[in-house]
Amino acid sequence: MTLFRPTGYRRVFGVLCCVLFLFTVYLYRDYVNQMVIKKNKNPAFNTQNLMNINKSPDLHMTNYEIKSEDTNGYAQDIHSSNCSPIQNIAFLKVHKCGSSTASNLLRRYSIKNHLNTVLTKKISDFWILNGASEVIPLPKGEYFNILDLDTFYNKALYQKVVPHAKFYLAIMREPVSRYISFEFDGSFHGGIFRRNTSQVYMFEDPNAGDKRSLLQQMSNEFGLSINSRFDDKLIKSHLETIDKEFNFVIIREYYDESLILLRRLLCWRMQDVLYIPVNNNLTKKPSPITPSGRAKLEKLLKADVIFYNHFKNKLLKSIHDLGVGFLHEVSHFRRVLKQVRDYCVYGRNMWSNVDIEASSWNNKFSVSKEECELMQMVEVPMVKMMTEKAMARYQASLKTQVSKN
């Protein structure tokens, strides 16, 4: 049987047909793409444009275009890349929200920049501020830059202790998880955990725990009266006041995003917001909760739920406004945190420091073993160390003043 073998001309003709077919497909695809782009109001994603957006002459901030009509987020507070660091800050340290980690960050910034932090002269509970008379005075002619002790928000007290503070900062956490954490921390109710740990859903009954865990709510620490926690009108009124008086509220569930936005608002460097979690309760057991149990708690934590949802939505609106470049910075920040934590936990006895390379969001910098020690220092020893130094400094200033007289 003789097989059919195409001649040379037929081969050439076949190749030309194939080329013509592919060229027609290419032209049709290009035509379709052009029609889609014309119909789409938003331009196509361009990675080169993204790189240009992320680069800024001042590495403290990035040049995001903020629309003037965005009034529900924090983004409108970022005016330009030309800024000066804000160093006068009042921090409402709301309990069981990751506030000890945030306070550690502020205290390290104060130490590194030789700022004055509010500290008390009390022998016991020296990390708690109840009134201006408890404060260790400063040498003549100086003023306090940072307040980060345990307080309940009192505007009059804040204005008296840190009158130069132009940035009011706070922190919040999802109310039910915060309540559960509060229950597990025995220091708030005599060290007694009243729930039956043999029950898987031990938080199903809100009344089975300590009543104080339901009374000291986040909204209460923001200054809302306990008796007002179910009053819609009073909750709304107080929230409106708080929203005007506080420049930023960190959200525990979006901790890294909060810190990156905070560093932009404060015009700080990335190394200024590094952290290692402190005061974590490692003995806390898993705490599953049913939808009905959660609903019961949310009803009792009504004011907290309203406050939290407001400030969480405000943060998320800002993140949305800032766009994908902001999320790239957060991702980079998490990589840096991993490098720093690995060094501080495992490598600081092997090397004197760890170098963090420059990026679109930071200059090159180093973290030393001494900085690791401060980053990992829990609250009471750190406040005690700073208190002793502040008291010694004040007493030395009195001796100097006496000698001059």
The mean pLDDT of 175-184, rounded to a whole number, is: 89
CA neighbours within 13 Å on the CB side: how many for 238? 25
Per-residue pLDDT tens for 315-339?
Answer: 999 999 999 999 999 999 999 999 9
Q: Give buried/exposed letters for 386-404 (b at 16+ CB in 10 A, else e).
A: bbeebeeebeebeeeeeee
- Mean pLDDT for the stretch of residues 215-238: 95
Query: Taking a C-beta distance cutoff of 8 angstroms, is the pair 90, 245 a contact?
Result: no
**Mean pLDDT of all residues in 26-44:** 43
- Cα distance between residue 167 and residue 88, in whole Å: 7
Task: Quote the pLDDT of residue 47.
Answer: 28
**CA angle at 213 for the pair 296 and 229, rounded to the nearest 5°:** 65
| Reported confidence tier of residue 40, pLDDT bands at 50, 70, 90 | very low
Name the residue among 184, 180, 151, 182 with its Cα closest to residue 168: 151
SS3 content of the chain, % helix, strand, coil (to 5): 55, 5, 40
Structural domains in the chain, sorted by start:
85-404 (3.40.50)
Mapping DSSP to helix (H, G, I), strand (E, B) and coil, where does residue 150 land? Answer: strand
**Across residues 124-144, what is the average pLDDT?**
94
pLDDT for position 281: 59
User: Above 60 in pLDDT, residue 4?
Assistant: no
Q: Please, what is the average pLDDT of the chain?
A: 83
Confidence of residue 68 (pLDDT cuts 50, 70, 90): very low
Please tell me the predicted confidence (pLDDT) of residue 237. 97
d(CA 372, CA 367): 7
Spell 1-16 as b/e; 16+ CB within 10 A means b: eeeeeeeeeeeeeeee
Dihedral sign (CA 362, 364, 365, 366): positive
324 or 16, higher pLDDT:
324
pLDDT at 189 over 70: no
Question: For the residues 264-285, what does the mean pLDDT come to?
Answer: 85
Alpha-carbon gap, residue 246 to 261, rounded angstroms = 15
Q: Tell how far CA 1 is from the center of its chain.
A: 82
HSE at residue 405, side-chain half, CA atoms within 13 A, is 6
Tokens read off for 238: 């107080």
Residue 210 has what pLDDT?
80
Q: Are 76 and 66 in contact (CB under 8 A)?
A: yes
Model confidence at 274, pLDDT cuts 50, 70, 90, reads very high
Question: How do residues 86-98 score in pLDDT, each as one tens digit?
Answer: 999 999 999 999 9
| Per-residue pLDDT, 188 | 58
